[in-house]
Amino acid sequence: MNENGLAIQTETLGKTFGTIHAIRSLTLEVPIGSIFGLLGPNGAGKTTTVRILSGLMKQSSGCARVCGLDIETQRDQVKSITGLLPESPGIYSKLSAVEFLEFIGALNRRNGDSLLRRIDSLLSLLGLEERQNDLLESYSSGMKQKVLVASTLLHEPELVFLDEPTSRLDPSASSLVKDLILVLADETETSFFICTHMTSFAEEVCDVIGIICEGKLMTVGSPEQIIESVDAADLEEAYLRIVGGRVDREQLLAWRA
Ligand SMILES: Nc1ncnc2c1ncn2[C@@H]1O[C@H](COP(=O)(O)OP(=O)(O)O)[C@@H](O)[C@H]1O
Ligand SMILES: [Mg+2]
């Protein structure tokens, strides 16, 4: 447990790819136990931020601590105490849910009875006990996504990164994943860092939200604080005001002139 109560602390974190500034001077603090949502349009820098914080990619400038650990000098420890659901995860469809989770557990150096008990409890939390020995190829997208979320939690991480956990799911599957995150946050005391471009999802699930646009963190606060700060009716309106996404109707129809 780190002493300052922060799951994530970044200071002027930056990443460039050639001339592209993927993230610019990102300074952010996320308290332990939060469900933090990084909200932003495509290309805003969300995935880059998660890759750096989870130890997959090196930053170009600035520094960050994850659960009190330095992401540059303690990268292996960061990886061992965090879980990551990438934007496009792979799944082995010829394995059953139990076999897949045993395999992921083994990759995280977990085995034996304690791993099997953990798999059992996660699968029953997910409501998948009845189907747990069926091949993943027979699962719906929502069920697969639940298994993938569970795979990030097997080694009891202190912090879980979920990159667009619902972007490829239909509304009912996405609602299942949303409920799952809320249950797990409640029952496991895990901190979550979730990237999304879906304002309604962020509003329902996250207790703190950061809005990022063109690599720059525009604002951080509770959904209510962000809505109030720009005098909007809901988070979607606040988001559009902050990222400048509202398209002027006249501008949209200007081609007719
Ligand atoms: N490996 C890479 N090489 C070059 N440019 C990249 C790479 N990864 C991301 N970028 C660029 O960085 C910016 C941020 O991308 P990304 O972090 O994936 O955004 P988001 O996840 O918010 O959609 C984009 O302009 C993207 O093209
Ligand atoms: Mg992304």
Establish whether residue 51 lines the binding site of ligand 1, counting it when its CB lies within 6 angstroms of any ligand atom: no
Q: For residue 203, is it within any domain? A: yes
- Domain with residue 116: its CATH number is 3.40.50.300
What percentage of residues in the chain have a pLDDT greater than 70? 95
In a domain, 148, yes or no: yes
- pLDDT tens per residue, range 152-200: 988 889 999 999 998 778 887 788 788 888 887 888 778 999 999 899 9
Ligand 1 pocket: which of 26, 48, 59, 167 to mutate (most atoms within 8 A of CB): 48
Ligand 1 nearest-atom number relative to CA 41: 22
pLDDT exceeds 80 at position 247: no
Which residue type occupies 66? V
Residue 81 has pLDDT above 90, yes or no: yes
pLDDT of residue 249: 58
Residue 251 has pLDDT above 90, yes or no: no
In a domain, residue 150? The reply is: yes
pLDDT given for residue 204 in this prediction: 93
Q: Which residue has the higher pLDDT, 47 or 253?
A: 47
Identify the pLDDT of residue 257: 60
Say yes or no to pLDDT of 256 above 80: no
The alpha carbon of 66 and the centre of ligand 1 are apart by a number of angstroms equal to: 22
Asked whether residue 179 is assigned to any structural domain, the reply reads yes
A 10 A CB-CB count for 209 gives: 27
pLDDT digits (tens, 9 = 90+) for 41-51: 999 999 999 99
Domain range spanning residue 67? Answer: 6-256
Q: Is residue 93 part of a domain?
A: yes
Q: Whose CA is nearest to atom 20 of ligand 1?
A: 43
**Residue 141's pLDDT is what?**
84
pTM above 0.95, yes or no: no
**What is the pLDDT, as a whole number, of residue 122?**
87
The total number of structural domains in the chain stands at 1
Is residue 195 included in any domain, yes or no?
Answer: yes
Residue 1 lies in a domain: no
The answer for residues whose C-beta is within 8 angstroms of residue 28's C-beta and 6 or more apart is 8, 9, 10, 13, 210, 217, 220
Q: Which comes out higher in pLDDT, residue 244 or 71? A: 71
Return all residues near 184 (Cβ < 8 A) that are at least 6 apart: 125, 149, 153, 190
Question: Does a structural domain hold residue 84?
Answer: yes
Ligand 1 centroid from CA 48, angstroms: 6
